[in-house]
Each structure stands twice: as C-alpha cells, then as structure tokens.
C-alpha cells in the first residue's frame, strides 16, 4: 500500500476511534490480558499490558493502528515473553468464516488479481490480460456468504447449549469485521482446560474422528436396536435424522446399514462430516495463546468493525458494522464487480476517478481495488 493511502487510512481510523471509542473497552481482568496491534505495512506489536480504557484510548491515538488485538488468555505477567507469562486460563472462542465454508468462490462477488501482471478482473480461471494462473482472490460484500456463516453460528449455538451444557447467556456473538463471526464463551467450566482438551472440543463440534462404534455399530452380533435413534441426545439424535429422514424409515434403513457392513457405514459417517459437522476453524479454538481482534475495533481487511451482535437474524454487517462517515472523496478505482454498503450500490469501476462516500472508499482501499487521488 502506498504512503498516501496509508496516511489516509491511519487518519480515518484514528477519527473513528476518537468518535466511537464507546464501542471499545478493555475486557474483564485487563491487567491479565496481552494486547497487541499492527500498523499499515508493518509487523505485529504484542506483549503489551493495558490496565484501563484510558490506556487503550491512548494507544489508539498515539499509534494509529490498522488492527488491534487482545488475548483470550489471562496471564500473571502478560507483558513478558510467552514462556514467562504464566498462563492462568482462557475464554473459549470459536471462529466461523465464509472462506472455510466455500466450495467455490461466489461468481458475482469475487474478483481476481494477477500476481504476474497485476491486472484486476472479475472471477476467472486465468488472467484475461496475460493468461497467468497465479491469481489471488478477493470477495466483496456477499449476502449469501454471510447467510451461510449465520447458519453455522446457529448450529454451533445449539451444540454449545445442548451438548456442552453452556448457559445461553454466556455465549457472545461478534461479527469479525470481514466475512465471519467470533463466538465467545467468556465464563464457563471450560476456561481452565488446555490446548489438547480444546482440540477435542473442536473435533466433537466438527464431527471429526467419529467411528462406527460411537454410534452403536458392532462388527459382530450386530442388531438395529443399537443404531442411532431420533430421541438420542447429542450427535446420535442428529445423525439419526440424517440417516433415516423420518422415524418410519428407520427399520428399513437400519437393515440396509447392517447389510452394508462396517466399512460402508464408516464411509457414510465420513460423508456426513461435511454436511452436519460445524465448520469452525479448529486452530483458533485450540490456541490458548492467540490474540484476537478487539471488539469495537476496525478490521483492516474491510474497514468494517468487529461488533457485538444482539439479533443474529436481523444483523446486516454491511449496514450495522459500517461506521466510517459519508463525506465524499475522490479515488482511483479498478473494481470490475458491483458491491453494496449501507444499502447503496457501487461499481463496477474500470480504472476510473470517482467521488464516493468515505466508507466506500475505505472499503475498496482495504480490499486493494482503490487508491487516493
């Protein structure tokens, strides 16, 4: 990113933090948390200790960061190197992102950038300018992508409450600021468990590592009474719904499963993993030293804000998480597809100088398709 664009974005982000600091707060036990930040075109600065909102505000005003982070973990000495921090416990956090749900990029919402000739164009297998296959993909505002992530959040929420016994009031949902959601469980019986146990929780949620014996299939002396039933709790009941469809189908399909044998049932389970397992990022859940984007802060991949979601069904990130002002500015844009922000449509633009609201200019700059004039 060129220096002029960096300066523009730094000043815009600083203005946002000055005007909307009420969205940001240090979390509970701030003196036990590790904070960090990045600057545009710069590396990560971490192992920072902050004790109050006032210190956080000072950090934002002085450093004009592109991104701000805070640990899910609590430490005795959060500002020391990792080996000396003395880990105490950590909030349980899940990450659901559209990129992990896609089987293919959405045609009408994805553009490509060629690494060979730097050409930006609409979605294609080859660069239309030089025919190169060295491409990077960028997705702009996509309601279908957001809907699919919302569906996964709802499925995850059910497992957290029904299977893991987490109180609904303890589950906090945040829009990540780009294409997904972060689900926090800040206070629960799981905050003391380590990385290995969290990996097992992730496996359970993703329906990974399941074997036929888990669902009552025996290699010898098999009978259909041991297979999953609709009234079973947890994954047994969910699997029954997928296997049989209706209760009346259970006797027939159970017999088919038994006749097909162990290997065929194991293959069925593997096929169901993608369709009924929750698509979280397991690395996020099991990492007890990760620093997460601070709620209320801007995501530099989009210019949108990581924000608490009160009503997931009604939440529209392209309206509710867009806080940059509407002052018109002039930018040079090469964006070959149309996108929507704050219920306004923009583009397509073909290497044009255009006047757009600042929130749209910031979004396009963060996506790498616009630059200051």
The whole-number pLDDT of residue 225 equals 81
Q: Per residue in 305-345, pLDDT tens?
A: 999 999 999 999 999 999 999 999 999 999 999 999 999 99
d(CA 211, CA 199): 17
Please report, to the nearest 10 degrees, the dihedral formed by the alpha carbons of residues 188, 189, 195, 200 taken in order.
-100
Across the chain, what does the average pLDDT equal? 93
162 noted as active-site residue: no
Query: Where residue 215 falls among pLDDT bands split at 50, 70, 90?
Result: confident
More confident residue, 347 or 280: 280
Please report, to the nearest 10 degrees, the dihedral formed by the alpha carbons of residues 207, 163, 241, 262 taken in order.
50
Contacts of 77-84 with C-beta under 8 Å, sequence gap 24+, read: 78/31, 78/32, 78/33, 78/34, 78/35, 78/47, 78/49, 79/34, 79/47, 79/48, 79/49, 80/47, 81/47, 82/47, 82/289
Query: CA 202: distance to chain centroid?
Result: 15
> Is the pLDDT assigned to residue 349 strictly greater than 90?
yes
163 noted as active-site residue: no
Catalytic residue among 163, 232, 281, 316: 281
The whole-number pLDDT of residue 140 equals 95
- Asked which of 71-80, 198-207, 255-264 is least confident by mean pLDDT, the reply is 255-264
Query: Where residue 262 falls among pLDDT bands split at 50, 70, 90?
Result: confident
Q: Answer whether 116's CB lies under 8 Å from 93's CB.
A: no
| % of the chain surpassing 90 pLDDT | 78
151 noted as active-site residue: no
d(CA 217, CA 207): 17
Catalytic residue among 67, 91, 97, 287: 97
Catalytic residue among 95, 144, 151, 163: 95
- What residues does each domain of the chain span? 3-95+173-189+281-323, 208-276
CATH class of 3-95+173-189+281-323: alpha beta
> Is the pLDDT assigned to residue 260 strictly greater than 90?
no
**pTM (two decimals):** 0.93
Q: Answer whether 314's CB lies under 8 Å from 340's CB.
A: no
């Amino acid at each position: 990113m060129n220096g002029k664009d960096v300066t523009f974005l730094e000043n815009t982000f600083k203005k946002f933090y000055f005007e909307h600091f009420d969205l940001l707060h240090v979390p509970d036990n701030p003196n036990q948390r590790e904070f960090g930040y990045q600057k545009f075109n710069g590396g990560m600065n971490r192992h920072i200790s902050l004790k109050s909102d006032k210190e956080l505000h000072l950090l934002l005003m002085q450093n004009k960061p592109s991104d701000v982070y805070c640990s899910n973990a609590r430490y005795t000495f959060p500002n020391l190197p990792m080996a000396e921090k003395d880990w105490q416990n950590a909030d349980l956090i899940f990450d659901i992102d559209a990129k992990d749900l896609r089987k293919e990029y959405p045609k009408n919402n994805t553009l490509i950038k060629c690494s060979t000739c730097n050409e930006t164009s609409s979605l294609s297998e080859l660069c239309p300018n030089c025919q190169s296959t060295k491409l990077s993909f960028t997705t702009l505002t996509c309601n279908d992508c957001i809907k699919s992530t919302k569906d996964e959040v709802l499925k995850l929420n059910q497992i957290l409450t029904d299977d893991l016994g987490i109180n609904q009031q303890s589950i906090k949902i945040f829009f990540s600021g780009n294409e997904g959601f972060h689900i926090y469980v800040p206070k629960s019986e799981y905050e003391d468990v380590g990385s290995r146990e969290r990996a097992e929780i992730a496996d359970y949620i993703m329906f990974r590592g399941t074997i036929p014996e888990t669902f009552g299939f025996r290699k010898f002396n098999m009978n259909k009474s041991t297979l999953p039933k609709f009234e079973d709790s947890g994954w047994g009941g969910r699997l029954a719904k997928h296997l049989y469809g209706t209760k009346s189908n259970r006797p027939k399909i159970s017999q088919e499963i038994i006749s097909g044998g162990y290997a065929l049932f194991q293959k069925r389970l593997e096929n169901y993993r993608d369709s009924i397992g929750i698509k979280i990022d397991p690395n996020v859940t099991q990492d007890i030293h990760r620093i997460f984007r601070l709620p209320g802060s801007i995501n530099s991949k989009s210019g949108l804000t990581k924000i608490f979601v009160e009503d997931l069904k009604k939440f529209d990130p392209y309206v509710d998480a867009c806080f940059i002002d509407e002052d018109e500015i002039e930018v040079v844009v090469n964006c070959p597809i149309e996108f929507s922000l704050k219920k306004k449509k923009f583009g397509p633009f073909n290497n044009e100088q255009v006047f757009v609201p600042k929130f749209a200019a910031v979004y396009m700059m963060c996506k790498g398709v616009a630059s200051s004039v």
